[in-house]
Amino acid sequence: MSAPAPTALIELRGLTKTFGAGDAAFQALKGIDLTINRGEFVAIIGPSGSGKSTLMNVLGCLDVATTGTYAYQGIAVESLDNDGRSLLRRYALGFIFQGFNLLARTSALDNVELPLLYRGLGRRERRSKALAALTSVGLPTKLGSTPGELSGGQQQRVAIARAIVTEPSTLFADEPTGNLDSVTTREVMALLTRLNVDRGITVLVVTHNDEVAACAKRTVLIKDGLIESDVRRT
């Protein structure tokens, strides 16, 4: 029996992004065509200023394209208003950043609960889901710890737990290991790989790190606002 055909999750056609206007205009993306299938693990790489972070911001609905189309699960993202994009982020997307972006004076458990608070879940359900998420990233004994009481790797694990507590279909990671040493980098990437394999979460990672990129099954190289190569590994 043949394997089922891949299901497109993200489809970009002719996507451009221009900052500024007139003589000061800068085109960061110059016509991106890209399809990402459900369940893929994709690394987006490229030199500084190549457009990879701009692409990630558009994909994550943190910014909007200037022209072109972006379909997420068949939804025409370019036609959504701010509220529509906010709902898509809240219910379908998870984010991990280089700087962790945790609330400094708030416990790990409360940090992870935060996205569920925005969804309007009750306290008991929030606690249960946050505890499960922290346990899944190996931090069941750090519930009451604040970020200042945790190592860099532990802080990133809390950030990952916060990103997955809403059960997103797609996880965006922007330089997720940029502030970590090599050993902790491998631990974090092993965790992201497990989430991709075991839960089927589509993972997109922007990175300068070759070791991080090697964890992905597909590498998209962006250069001067265009896709220069797109390589899948078996």
CATH label of the domain that carries residue 179: 3.40.50.300
Number of domains in the chain: 1
Helix (H, G, I), strand (E, B) or coil at 45: strand
Check if the beta carbon of residue 205 is closer than 8 Å to that of residue 176: yes
Q: Which domain holds residue 106?
A: 40-63+89-232
Please report, rounded to a whole number, the percentage of residues in the chain having pLDDT higher than 70: 98
The reported pLDDT for the residue numbered 120 is 86
Could you read off the pLDDT of 30-53 as tens digits, one per residue? 999 999 999 999 999 999 899 999
The reported pLDDT for the residue numbered 118 is 85
CA distance 95 to 168: 9
Check if the beta carbon of residue 94 is closer than 8 Å to that of residue 171: yes
Ramachandran angles phi, psi of 96, nearest 5°: -130, 135
Whether residue 61 is predicted with pLDDT greater than 70 in this model: the reply is yes
Ramachandran angles phi, psi of 143, nearest 5°: -60, -40
Confidence of residue 65 (pLDDT cuts 50, 70, 90): very high
Please report, rounded to a whole number, the percentage of residues in the chain having pLDDT higher than 90: 88
| 102 inside domain | yes
Read off the pLDDT of each residue in 84-105 and give the average, rounded to a whole number.
Answer: 92
Could you read off the pLDDT of 206-229 as tens digits, one per residue? 998 999 999 999 999 999 999 999
| 7 inside domain | no
Check if the beta carbon of residue 173 is closer than 8 Å to that of residue 96: yes
| 122 inside domain | yes
CA proximity to 152, closest of 131, 176, 136, 135: 176
Query: Strands 8-19 and 26-37: what pairing?
Result: antiparallel
Checking phi first, is residue 51 left (phi over 0); if not, alpha (psi -120 to 50) or beta? left
Instruction: State the residue for tokens 């990129």.
Output: 213
Distance of CA 49 to the CA centre of its chain: 19
pTM: 0.92
| 94 inside domain | yes
Sheet of 218-223: strand order equals: 93-97, 170-174, 202-206, 41-45, 218-223, 226-232
CA distance 109 to 41: 27
| 180 inside domain | yes
Ramachandran angles phi, psi of 83, nearest 5°: -65, -40
| 137 inside domain | yes
| 14 inside domain | no
| 19 inside domain | no
